[in-house]
Amino acid sequence: MSNPSIQAGSNAPGRATRPTTITVAFWAFLASTLLGLANGVVTLLSGNSVGNATSTVIVDNGTELTETQVDQVATATNAGALVFSVIMSLLYVLFAAKVRAGRNWARILLTVVTGLQLLAITFGQSTTLGYLSALSALVGAVLCFAKPSNDYFAAVKTSR
């Protein structure tokens, strides 16, 4: 009896057929990415920024920064954080695509990132979107290690 998750696909001779668990994991990772980005944008727009904590900052040499200078630093920090988030999101989508293609290293990497995401919401402040993003990533990571997924990764490795 042959395993349906490793049978050759009709349009790609010799290639493993992608199981539903991998397809759902891919979409779960994409959902996690979108929810994480939405969380960052909401946080940025809601005023939870570096500069809103205080209007006066004293630097190491005792010089006091003006409110305008604090706002400029906060704006630059928030812009940097947003750019970093977009770059990380693009990488996350790339890794999800690699999981979909059967690359085991991407499965391991996204599992580690999911673990870090769970640690971040456990020990840090999070929002509903942050929790939903982590939950979605957890679903994707778990599905990546289901039996049909394991068979798929093995079949892809063998076919290369």
Q: What confidence score (pLDDT) does residue 7 get?
A: 44
What pLDDT does residue 57 have? Answer: 59
**Of residues 17, 15, 21, 20, the one with CA closest to residue 158:** 15
Helix 104-123 to helix 128-144 angle, to the nearest 10 degrees?
Answer: 150
CB 127, CB 43: distance < 8 Å? yes
Residue 59 has what pLDDT? 59
pLDDT at residue number 46: 75
| Number of neighbours of residue 80 by Cβ within 10 angstroms | 10
Do you know the residue count of the chain? 160
The DSSP bridge pattern shows strands 64-65 and 57-58 to be antiparallel
**Residue entry with tokens 């999981």:** 99
Question: Which DSSP category does 15 fall into?
Answer: E
Q: For residue 17, what pLDDT is reported?
A: 92
pLDDT for 40 equals: 83
Identify the helix (H) or strand (E) that includes residue 104. Answer: helix 104-123
pLDDT of residue 56: 57
Residues of the chain short of pLDDT 70, as ranges, are 1-14, 47-62
pLDDT at 71: 79
CA distance linking residue 44 with residue 83, whole number of Å: 12
What is the pLDDT, as a whole number, of residue 1? 40
**Tell me: the pLDDT tens digits for 9-43?**
333 545 789 999 999 999 999 999 999 999 888 87
